[in-house]
Chain A
Amino acid sequence: MLMIHCPHCEETLPELEFAYAGEAHIDRPVKPSDLSDEEWRDFLFIRSNPRGQHFERWRHVHGCARFFNAVRDTVSDQFLTTYKSGLPRPTEDELKELAR
């Protein structure tokens, strides 16, 4: 079982309490009506789906119920870090340090 660190509870807890919630750092357009159909499609459906480090949202649904962001390696399933929603994504240097 994966153990996931919740940045709100500040505890590392079993995966069963959490739910995956898609890719992180995707801002909803401020004025959706200004977007072309293609841009709106990209916002709704087009995701990066990388092999390796993936920035994603998780929700501690059966705990504090908050959403937060995580960086997970999609190959090894290792969580590099988790951080509260709204914070900037970790820099590449920070991630390299965490991956070591």
Chain B
Amino acid sequence: MTQTISNTLNMMTKIGHPAGSQAIADMKGPVDIAFNETCARFNLRIDPANLAKASKTFGLDIPASIHGYAKDGGRSALCLGPDDWNIYGDEADKDAIAKAFADLYADAAHSLSDISDRQLSISLKGAQVADLLAMACPRDLSQLAVGSGTRTLFDSVEVLLIKHSDEHFEMEVWRSFLPHVWAMLQLGNQELVIDEVLNKA
């Protein structure tokens, strides 16, 4: 999968686009920016009345309220809308999760879509992570509770944000938007470096 990430980031080079020379490997700066390990990722649409059954199938209490996030061991779940969830597991468990929900189908109609490969997860860590995100996210992220997540925008690209702590966010970006978002994050990180230098002077 690491190979796939580098393919995505170097997409412009591979198709011979002039912007290809801008593919960025050096993300140094006040905020640590790195890819999270790939995982099994599903979108779940189910009647909220049947959520308890889905939780039992998944082996984790799936949060019922929008922005709710739950994590236990390798499994986690994020509530995006009134009947819309993303659920995550270890990559090796992908087939087992799909099978478990297929067995649930007779009992509780739902839709489970495998979106493991649709988006990539980026970890953002550092004291200035909120400043970095504020550069391109219209939402006031200080209002987002620690341990919750949301779908929002980052420089007009739809992303998922999970706030693990005030200094640790996780961002999920669709693969095709990644080169742009990656470049924006790099630019923002560089601007924070400049701020540091100016503040010292």
Q: Give A residues with C-beta under 8 Å from B.
A: 1, 8-11, 13-14, 16-17, 62-66
Q: Can you pick out 8 interface pairs between chain A and chain B where the beta carbons lie within 8 Å of each other? A: A8-B82, A9-B67, A10-B66, A13-B139, A62-B151, A62-B158, A65-B151, A66-B82
CB–CB B84/A63 < 8 A: no
Residues of A contacting B138 with CB < 8 Å?
A: 1, 14, 16-17
Bound-complex Cα distance A83 to B66 (A)? 16
CB–CB B81/A8 < 8 A: yes
Residues of A contacting B80 with CB < 8 Å?
A: 64-65
- Tell me if B142 is interfacial: C-beta within 8 Å of chain A: no
CB–CB A11/B152 < 8 A: no
Bound-complex Cα distance A64 to B45 (A)? 12
Chain B interface: which size bin?
10 to 19
Bound-complex Cα distance A43 to B98 (A)? 43
8 Å CB interface, B131-185 against A: 138-139, 143, 150-153, 156, 158
B21 CB, nearest partner CB in chain A, Å: 31
Bound-complex Cα distance A13 to B153 (A)? 12
8 Å CB interface, B61-76 against A: 66-67
Residues of A contacting B66 with CB < 8 Å?
A: 8-10, 64
Bound-complex Cα distance A8 to B48 (A)? 14
Residues of B contacting A10 with CB < 8 Å?
A: 66
CB–CB A17/B152 < 8 A: yes
Q: Majority SS of interface residues in chain A?
A: loop
Bound-complex Cα distance A83 to B77 (A)? 27
| A1-B138, A9-B67, A16-B138 known; A63+B82 contact, CB < 8 A | no
Apart from A62-B158, A66-B82: 19 A-B pairs, beta carbons within 8 A = A8-B81, A8-B82, A9-B66, A10-B66, A13-B139, A14-B139, A16-B138, A16-B156, A17-B138, A62-B151, A62-B152, A63-B81, A63-B150, A63-B152, A64-B80, A64-B81, A64-B84, A65-B81, A65-B84
Q: Which residue of A lies closest to B81 (CB)?
A: A64
A89 CB, nearest partner CB in chain B, Å: 21
B112 CB, nearest partner CB in chain A, Å: 17
A66 CB, nearest partner CB in chain B, Å: 6
Bound-complex Cα distance A62 to B150 (A)? 9
Closest 4 CB pairs of A and B: A64-B81, A14-B138, A16-B138, A62-B153
Q: Which of B80, B84, B150 has the most CB of A within 10 A?
A: B150
Q: Which residue of B lies closest to A11 (CB)?
A: B143
B29 CB, nearest partner CB in chain A, Å: 26
B113 CB, nearest partner CB in chain A, Å: 14
